[in-house]
Amino acid sequence: MNTRLRFRRWLGERIRAARRYANDLANVGPHDAYAKKFFYFGSGAGLMAPQGIIYNERYLSIGEQTLIGPNVCLTAGISGEQEMLHAPVVTIGKKCVVGRGSHIIGHWSITIGDEVQTGPYVYITDQNHTYLDPDTPVGWQTPEESAVSIGSGSWLGTNVVILPGTHLGRNTTVAAGAVVRGTYPDHVVLGGVPAKVLRHFTPDSGWLSGPPA
């Protein structure tokens, strides 16, 4: 092995080790000064490094033992200076896991129950642009907010999109790539674009195909 290749391997390992060390130091726990900026930051909770865009922390609540993965964007409003109408705007319950690269973008109310887990790159928002005026670009039209809630014990697969006005029941499974809007009962499996109930659970018959009768 030539000297240049040995040096490259040696240097590469040092860089990777330094990155791992830096990320470990940059993880945020409840006893770090940054955690005090949040509306609530529970015992045993953590923000994994590198963090995504996070602002208006005073309107964000993170429950006990909840883990927010790397590169997760977690925001309230459109800037860190915006005054919201109430606090918290985004509430994440206890023992949740938010997958890497996900976005939770709150403007009015997003409530995530306890023990909810998401795959990577999940997008949850309570605001969307309107398109009522055909002569005005959609991006400039006044957005509308509608509260979102995710029932405790639910699982959201990779690349799921949760749109404003969505209310998921307890222990809901959402298949990867689904785009969800609407109100759904406990113990269902959702999938598709737009999402629909693929399976539901009954105490008498167990899991059945399709939506409840």
CATH number of the structural domain spanning residue 150? 2.160.10.10
Q: How confident is the model at residue 84 (pLDDT cuts 50, 70, 90)?
A: very high
Residue 173 lies in a domain: yes
Phi, psi torsion values for 26, nearest 5 degrees: -85, -10
Neighbour tally for 10: CB within 10 Å: 10
The answer to whether residue 79 is domain-embedded is yes
The rounded Cα 33 to chain-centroid distance in angstroms is 23
193-203 tens-digit pLDDT: 999 999 999 99
User: Which range is least confidently modeled, 2-6, 25-29, 174-178?
Assistant: 2-6
Residues 6+ apart with CB under 8 A from 96: 63, 66, 67, 112, 114, 115, 116, 117
**pLDDT band (50, 70, 90) for residue 161:** very high
The verdict on residue 87 lying in a domain is: yes
CA torsion 96-100-105-111 (nearest 10°) is -10
Answer yes or no: is 9 within a domain: no
If one counts every other C-beta atom within 10 angstroms of the C-beta of residue 197, the result is: 18
Stated pTM of the model: 0.92
What does the pLDDT read at residue 1? 62
CA pair distance 114, 150, nearest whole angstrom = 9
Tell me, yes or no, whether 20 lies in a domain.
no
Q: Give the tens place of pLDDT for each residue, 127-141.
A: 999 999 999 999 999
The yes-or-no verdict on residue 160 having pLDDT over 90 is yes
Q: Is residue 23 part of a domain?
A: no
Question: Which sequence positions are flagged as catalytic?
Answer: 129
Asked if 92 and 109 touch (Cβ cutoff 8 Å), the reply is no
pLDDT of residue 61: 98
Inside any domain, residue 95: yes
Domain range enclosing 111: 28-209
Any domain includes 17: no
pLDDT of residue 125: 98
pLDDT tens-digit map of 162-190: 999 999 999 999 999 999 999 999 999 99
Distance CA 146, CA 163 (A): 9
Domain count within the chain: 1
